[in-house]
Structure 1
Amino acid sequence: MTGAQLEMPGMPRRLFPATPSKLATFSDCPRRYRFAYLDRPSPPKGPPWAHNSVGSAVHAALRSWWELPAHERTPRAARQLLYGHWSDAGFADAEQSATWRARAAGWLDEYVPTLDPDDEPAGTERQVAATTERLAITGRVDRIDLRTGDDGDELVVVDYKTGRHPSTEDDARGSPALALYVLGVRRTLRRPCSRVELHHLPSGTVAAFEHTDRSLANHVRRAEDVAADITAATAAREEGAADDEAFPPVPGQQCGWCDFRSSCPTGRAAAPPRETWSFLPT
């Protein structure tokens, strides 16, 4: 029996449980979505990636830094926290790992002095949630700042980035995840929130955008469209459609770094495998 069949006449529409990563996975490749969220047991994933190890360590260090007493929030403390969270996973060897650990520590040495240790965030690694007409949205925000502006206090969504390229205003405006986080922050913390910021630590730059009701509505509409496609594909599979008919692969260069490459002949034929350290920022 499908989810649609379980709904009774007159009952409210069942909301689709959505996270930004879940929606993005289906948009990128429906087969990958099936592997990640539907197939049980899920196919084995490939090896870890060095750039993910870098990003995870930096995020964890900054989260832990804000958990320290204010007088202990120093650049040296951030560096030590990074060392404690560091993982060698995905690097070519110990030497490459050590080089990138030192480089990431340098990012923190430059970034942490731009922060006011006494300015407590409204949240770090904060889980937020909201609902729309069709979605039950959840997500985890790197940091939520409380800023005072001309119109009073407002919350700001801050997302740390450690990738190759500095973030742009287009990135901030076009990010579905940041837009959904704004909705989640508004609903969870019950305060105004419109501004999103991408803090790119390697370059020390900040890209920002002020969302409007219209821009948020556009993001919600697109997210609901993706959720509707997922629901239709899932129902088709439950009703007997072949896996690849309901959740077709979308081959391309991205197949070279897909976590499920070993389980996807289409992906292996589409692109050669990438080294697990090939996406480290230059």
Structure 2
Amino acid sequence: MPRKLIKVTPSRIATWMDCPRRYRMAYVDRPTPPRGGAFAHSTLGAVVHNALRALFDLPARDRTPDAAAALVGRHWKDDGFAGPTQAATYRELAGDWVAGYVAETDVSQDPIGLERWVSAPIGTIVAEGRVDRIDERDGELVIVDYKTGRSVLTTDDARASQALALYVLAARRTLRRPCRRVELHHLPSGTVAVWEHSEESLTRHRTRAEEAAEEFNLATDTLHAGGDQDVLFPPNVGRQCSWCDFRRSCPEGQAAGPQVEPWALLARTDEVTKG
């Protein structure tokens, strides 16, 4: 019998590489163990993504900086923030980020896809995921990923991103058009990190994804056959345990250090500057 292809998403692979125990709790255990509460930086990122998606639902003539800032307010949530004052500060900051982005970026063309799900068999896996934005430029697809984190991103970040590479592989098969270019749009700094993949670089990313998929698939099958979950899915203890969703179900993670406040991973308002 032919081997069944393993479905992978960037988040599934990243979770496995970050901590096998967290992978088990997120993707294998049923019922799923309780997760922690919302984090402010995740809320902020989701609001910005939703505002930019809604912007492209408007007619091109209405995609103005003011409209973009207003969409941030419309999609805003206070989840994870220290209180109304902090939430209001970051709501205004996010509005400035999105307005500045629209002022400096050509948003007149309709993307090929917004929050588009792509999925395609590639080697021994089915690579799939939801892409923030897919543009078409000069007959080729371009993968665009929005970022709102603390750090200004570089070409190396775009080149090394396995998520973006998998999106390229899936998008070119799903949409049947050439695709090589990936872009990380970092809204806090107003910078764009770009990389154009070669077939060799995409093959390297695919191979690493296949290796990870084989590892977590084997561990899952062995667990279902009666294997020891702590041997198959050991915890990877580190500073990331302080903000892990499953911290309450992991004694080793709790012992690694104190839990951070839900707003601790926000960039300070003076941390990012325009590039």
| TM-score normalised to structure 1 length | 0.93
2:225 paired residue number? 239
Distance in 1 between residues matched to 2:98 and 2:135, nearest whole Å: 18
Q: What are the equivalent positions in structure 2 for 1:34-73 lying under 5 Å apart?
A: 34-73=24-63
1:259 paired residue number? 245
Contact 1:16 1:136 (C-alpha < 8 Å) held by counterparts: yes
Offset at residue 212 of structure 1 (A): 0.4
Instruction: Give 2:148's match in structure 1, choosing from 132, 139, 162.
Output: 162
1:270 partner amino acid: A
2:11 paired residue number? 21
2:167 paired residue number? 181
1:186 partner amino acid: R
Contact 1:146 1:155 (C-alpha < 8 Å) held by counterparts: yes
1:131 paired residue number? 121
* Paired residues, number: 268
Contact 2:122 2:169 (C-alpha < 8 Å) held by counterparts: no
1:4 paired residue number? none
CA RMSD of aligned residues (A): 0.9
SS in 2 for 1:46: coil
Offset at residue 188 of structure 1 (A): 1.0
2:76 paired residue number? 86
1:267 partner amino acid: G
Distance in 2 between residues matched to 1:141 and 1:64, nearest whole Å: 15
Unaligned runs of 5+ in 2: 269-275
SS in 2 for 1:13: coil
1:95 paired residue number? 85
Structure 1 window deviating more from structure 2 (260-269 vs 109-118): it is 109-118
1:242 partner amino acid: D
Instruction: Give 1:225's match in structure 2, choosing from 197, 211, 233.
Output: 211
1:254 partner amino acid: Q
Is 1:212 aligned to residue 180 of structure 2?
A: no
Distance in 1 between residues matched to 2:261 and 2:41, nearest whole Å: 11
Unaligned runs of 5+ in 1: 1-10
Distance in 2 between residues matched to 1:97 and 1:65, nearest whole Å: 22
1:108 paired residue number? 98
